[in-house]
Amino acid sequence: MENVIELHGVSKKFQTFSIDDIDLQMKQGYTTGFIGANGSGKSTIIKLMMNLLKPDKGKVRVFGMDYANHEKEIKNRIGFVYDSNIYYESLNLKDISRIVAPAYTQWDDKLFIKYVNQFELPINKSMKHFSKGMQMKASIAIALSHHADLIIMDEPTAGLDPTFRRELLDIFQEVMVNEGKSIFFSTHTTSDLERFADYIVLFNKGEILLNQRLDELQEQYILVKGSTDLLDRDTETHFINIERSQDVFQALSKNIQEVQEVFHDHVVIEKASLDEMMFHMKSAHRNQGKQLNI
């Protein structure tokens, strides 16, 4: 299977934050959801993927090409949604489409107008009078209007009302199914991912904790709840992380068989949600550091 994005040994250092030696591959034709706490480095990775930042070390390849020799070709095939308005604020959408269109060989005015109408955006109003949600919608309309093969979005659902968020996820799903695109997007709303992501990448403090198919994750990871009396040095080894609250605990595990053999029906076993996985893996990463085995 072909990779649409590849990061090989990528490092980037800021004064108080660094990403070290990251390897990340994203498969063509799938939706990859990118999650992680505030400041974990998601936007930095996205900027590296878009060549808005240059890595100190390592290689970024998109569609198998590098930015040094193929920037125009790569950007032509990416629809990019950034979490703030990157267009001139005094312009309206009509002006912006005129400015943006020549940059893309497959710009589709009809499609753009279709999205502008569908998203109920005023075409002649200056974008400086757009609400945050309207700006995001405008950015999404532009990204979807040039038949890009890859859509990269930094928190595209931030600032959107729940109804439109749902509609938007349906649009992305339609685009995925009908046109076989690849989508990479970061979000803090894990329910969006549970609706339509194929792969999940979990990032924490500049490190990838997890890069796996969502259906596998949902099958493997369980949340175990019980009394703290059941915990000792041996039984604790069956868990990735344990959270205690007074005399009860809840813990993350991916060994359902082992847990059943050890605890029988003294514990309650549930499927772990993405939020719970994120919480426990982040906590385990903090406590165990690089030895984390998930």
Q: Where do contacts with ligand ATP occur on this chain (CB under 6 A)?
A: 14-15, 17, 36, 38-44
Q: Is the CB of residue 176 less than 8 Å from the CB of residue 145?
A: no
CA dist list (Å): 91 to 86, 99, 172, 277: 12, 10, 27, 43
Least distance (Å) from ligand ATP to the CB of residue 131? 20
Does an H or E element contain 202, and which?
A: strand 199-204
Given the complex with ligand ATP, which of 201 and 272 has the nearer CB atom? 201
Q: Is the CB of residue 152 less than 8 Å from the CB of residue 78?
A: yes
Least distance (Å) from ligand ATP to the CB of residue 188? 6
Given the complex with ligand ATP, which of 40 and 189 has the nearer CB atom? 40
Given the complex with ligand ATP, which of 53 and 111 has the nearer CB atom? 53
Pairing status of strand 18-27 against strand 65-66: unpaired
Phi/psi region, residue 271 (left: phi>0; alpha: psi -120 to 50; beta: rest), is beta
Least distance (Å) from ligand ATP to the CB of residue 258? 34
Least distance (Å) from ligand ATP to the CB of residue 252? 22
Q: Is the CB of residue 100 less than 8 Å from the CB of residue 142?
A: yes
CA dist list (Å): 50 to 42, 72, 201: 12, 11, 18
DSSP secondary-structure letter at 159?
A: T
Least distance (Å) from ligand ATP to the CB of residue 183? 17
Least distance (Å) from ligand ATP to the CB of residue 36? 5
Given the complex with ligand ATP, which of 43 and 212 has the nearer CB atom? 43
**Closest CA relative to residue 193, chosen from 204, 202, 205:** 202
Least distance (Å) from ligand ATP to the CB of residue 190? 13
Least distance (Å) from ligand ATP to the CB of residue 294? 19
* Residue bearing tokens 């974008």: 127
* Residue bearing tokens 């703030």: 84
Given the complex with ligand ATP, which of 14 and 88 has the nearer CB atom? 14
Query: How far is 229 from 247, CA to CA, in rounded Å?
Result: 8
Query: How far is 125 from 92, CA to CA, in rounded Å?
Result: 5
Rg (CA), the chain: 21
Given the complex with ligand ATP, which of 263 and 279 has the nearer CB atom? 279
Given the complex with ligand ATP, which of 17 and 88 has the nearer CB atom? 17
| 155: helix, strand or coil | coil
Given the complex with ligand ATP, which of 251 and 277 has the nearer CB atom? 277
